[in-house]
Structure 1
Amino acid sequence: MEELEFIATLLDPKTQNVAFQKLLSEYQRPLYSHIRNIVLNHDDADDVLQNTFVKVFQHLKNFKGESKLFSWMYRIATNEAITFINKKAKRNGITSEAMQTRIVENLKADDYFDGNEIQIKLQKAIALLPQKQQLVFKMRYYEEIKYEDMSEILGTSVGALKASYHHAVKKIENYMTSN
């Protein structure tokens, strides 16, 4: 089914329940993974995922089709995850960077995290990066999202994304070898 036809079924009250179930089954797992890469905690990722789908449903009528549905939903998920971290940081009276570091330090207590010490060290290195570099690195390294798709999701040029990824990799390599 063409994307525009699918969107029409999502907007039609007669077909929207079935279409939304299809949307959930197709995008729930990749969006969860994307969000989890940003917020790191399973329970937080579930909350953000739920908020993401609520926003998708509420704002679907405003989707203009200027990007792929996938990109639009990923942008919403990214914004929801960043907003979640920023709000959590504000509630705790710390910066979002400090919040990221705190989340990494709590990873061992997360029953859904099955990483080893090297993976925790990698997460610590990522947490030290500026937010944009974190996003670009995680989307490219963990999710293998193409730069062109990332450009639509983040609203940044492919060249800038490649530069951000390159800088992130160098900083992570330096951290991993010096700590």
Structure 2
Amino acid sequence: MGDVGTGARDRDTEGRARNARPRDGLGRPLPYGTPGVERQPEGVVRAPEETVAEAQSLLDAGKPFHAHEVFEDAWKSGPEDERTLWRGLAQLAVGLTHAARGNVTGGARLLRRGAGAVEEWAAGSGVPRPYGMDVGGLAEWARELAGRVAGGAGRIEATAEAPRLRGTP
């Protein structure tokens, strides 16, 4: 961790700039020294099925910011032809994050953008249920939630609103 107040930046073990401040369950920075939620490691390459399972576990635990990071890893490390899918899923998770933080405009915008991305990918690929995920259902969930958030629902509870990536259990 860098020196607080000296202008030095926090760095990870590879020397890359990384904010080492603790974060809460929605990824918001907390003051140094405050206990926070363990951060999701970055740059982990997972099989697609592992990505979906890990992200679902985080969504179920009310940690959509962390699920976003799992999807982002898949987006950056996966095959080129799947990047729109994983980017769209990351946008859905970060949209839920913003909505749960009370950012109405940003949350609704990202939920709609993510819905469009996953639908675009499904239409172009001809695969409506990649890795068992209900892409149509996710897009519908995102647009419905975006409408409620933008319509004045206020801050939402991430755990209660978490989507089922593979449909109903």
Larger of the two Rg values belongs to structure: 1
Determine which structure has the larger helix proportion and give its number. 1
**TM-score, L = length of structure 2:** 0.29
**TM-score, L = length of structure 1:** 0.28
